[in-house]
Homo-oligomer: A and B are copies of this chain.
Amino acid sequence: MAYKNRVELIPLKFRRIEVGEDVIEILCSLIRRNRLKLKDGDVFAIADKVLAFYEGRIVDYQNMPVSEDAIRLAKRYNLEPGFVQLVLNESEKVFGGVERALLTLTRGILMANAGVDHKNAPPGKAALWPKNPTLLAYKIRVELEKRFGKRLAVIIVDSKVNPLRRGTVGIAIGFSGLVPVIDCRGKKDLFGNSLKITFMNVVDDLAAMAHLLMGETIESTPFVLIRNAPITLTEENYSDEVKISENDCLVLNSLKEYYYCPRTGA
């Protein structure tokens, strides 16, 4: 039987993509080859990695000049100096790190190694995030809408780690065409209580859904079509709505404050 409200995730597999290939053309050909009849509200999740190849942001970090800072951080966190230099170039802030990873702020997003990644990049090279993920998501969405005549959304997906959790989950580093966050403040719950502080992060839930199918190794699934998701389409640019400041952030603000153990009072 059919479930009217079911959400579908359709993985679109492709061979390994090379530098300079036109990712929009590839996606369009996959849509046609798989005979997907697009519908209004379809969301395309795209792995940031293939967009690095598309934009030529695949960098040889082994032969680049490095700063004193890069050398120092590389030594401390067991990373290659050239790789660290790339991370510094891509970062607004570096908060510290653990073995083989720095915690950085890049384009307003908290991320391991500023999104600079060896995985599925040619040996000795690293892939960088799109220069402007919001603009790129917009460009791809508009092109897809033009070709297929439907109202769509696009999210660009990278993977990230969460505090005290092992392993990566998906995050939307750029998006276009949908409202990213639902403001639930003032809405009533099932008991008629009015919600006071809750927002719901739609784009990161969607990114996590896609990430599960994209995988981390040889899944070769750079695109996932998400169909019938409960989203609101928009032409507005809401790219800043999903980011908050350090002072408004529960995690960052709390960890900068004091540390309290209710069991011991220490």
Contact = CB atoms under 8 A, between A and B. Distances in A.
Contact of A162 (B120, B201, B211, B241): B201
A189 B125 CA distance: 13
Contacts of A20: none
A99 B96 CA distance: 26
A178 to B, nearest CB: 12
A244 B166 contact: yes
B197 A101 contact: yes
Contacts of A8: 3, 6-9
Contacts of A249: 98, 163-164
Given A95-B259, A256-B255, A262-B91, A165 B7 contact: no
Contacts of A9: 6-9
Nearest to A124: B193
B199 A103 contact: no
A56 interface: no
A224 B9 CA distance: 15
A95 B260 contact: yes
Contact of A199 (B92, B112, B167, B196): B167
Interface stretch (A130-138, A139-147, A180-188): A180-188
Chain A interface size band reads 35 or more
Interface in A163-212: 163-171, 181-182, 184, 187-193, 195-202, 204-209, 211-212
A88 B262 CA distance: 6
Interface string A67-86: 00100000000000000000
Contacts of A259: 93, 95-96
Interface string A29-42: 00000110000000
Given A161-B250, A167-B242, A244-B164, A95 B195 contact: no
Interface of A: 1, 3, 5-11, 16, 34-35, 69, 88-89, 91-103, 105, 108-110, 112, 118-123, 159, 161-171, 181-182, 184, 187-193, 195-202, 204-209, 211-213, 215-218, 220, 229-230, 241-246, 248-263, 265
10 contacts: A96-B255, A100-B197, A101-B197, A105-B164, A164-B245, A166-B241, A167-B201, A168-B199, A187-B217, A252-B255
